[in-house]
Structure formats: C-alpha cells, structure tokens
Amino acid sequence: MSDRELEAIRRKKLRELRKILASKAETEPKKKTDSKEVLNRLFVGRAWEVLNAAKLQYPQAAAYVENTLVKLIKLGKIRNPITGEDLYGLFRRLGFRVRLQTRIQILEHGKVKSLVDKIKEDTL
C-alpha cells in the first residue's frame, strides 16, 4: 500500500469514529433528561427529596433503583403515583436506610416557630 492509500484509510476511520462519538454525545444527555421526565410524571410529594438523599448516601443503589423504576414505568408496570413514603419504604426493604433532614415546626398565633424557639420561650 502506498502512503496515499494509508492516509485515506486513516481519514475514513477518523470520520467514522467522530460520527460514533457525536451520536453518543447526543443520546447521553437525552437519556438523563428522559429519565427525569419519566419519573417526574409519577413522583409526588417528597419523592424527589428521598431519591436525591439516597443518591448522596448510596449512589450505586440509588442509580440502580432509579433505572429500574424508569424501565418499569416505560413498560407500563407502574402506573400509580410514587410518594416519598413509598420510595423511602422501598429503600428500607432493600436494606438502605436513607437519612432525611427533618424539622419540627409549630404554628402559634399565625407564626411558624421551630421547636427549639418554642422551648426557649417556654423556659424563660
């Protein structure tokens, strides 16, 4: 083979690889937004809060649960809304205790107070 033939083959291969990379780059962002859109259709209440907390604490397990939920929703096997409590229970049954930030607030005379503030007022 001559140098020209080798150079032509190299250019052809390079073009093919660029096409493959471009097609992958186009499909990957769609996949993430697509999964969020699919889950957003059925997530209600604090479901996103539970999923995001699970992603921070158990990234691999949360990614697996998220992908599985997306597949089941797309297949039509899950049609009912998924609440935060449902999702929390799912993680608990799988053996992952997702810790959520909780606050206790009291409504008193039209004002929202934290439990700490209420106890301080009562002790003074």
Summarize pLDDT for 2-13 with one digit per residue, the tens: 888 889 999 999
The answer as to whether 8 is a domain residue is no
Q: What is the mean pLDDT of the chain?
A: 89
Summarize pLDDT for 40-62 with one digit per residue, the tens: 999 999 999 999 999 999 999 99
The answer as to whether 16 is a domain residue is no
Could you tell me the pLDDT band of residue 31, with boundaries at 50, 70 and 90?
low
Number of domains in the chain: 1
The yes-or-no verdict on residue 32 having pLDDT over 70 is no
Of the CA atoms within 13 Å of residue 16, those in its CB half-sphere come to 6
Spell out a b/e string for 65-86, using b for 16 or more CB atoms within 10 Å of the CB, else e. Answer: bbeebbeebeeeeeeeebbbeb
The answer as to whether 89 is a domain residue is yes
The answer as to whether 15 is a domain residue is no
Summarize pLDDT for 64-91 with one digit per residue, the tens: 999 999 999 999 999 999 999 999 999 9
Q: What one-letter code names the amino acid at 25?
A: A
The answer as to whether 45 is a domain residue is yes
The answer as to whether 119 is a domain residue is yes
Phi-psi region of 109 (alpha: psi -120 to 50; beta: other; left: phi over 0): left
Q: Is the pTM of this model over 0.75?
A: no
Expressed as residue numbers, the domain containing 118 is 35-123
The answer as to whether 49 is a domain residue is yes
The answer as to whether 84 is a domain residue is yes
In this prediction, residues 29-42 reach a mean pLDDT of 79
User: How many CB atoms sit inside 10 A of residue 6's CB?
Assistant: 10
Look up the CATH number of the domain holding residue 105: 1.10.8
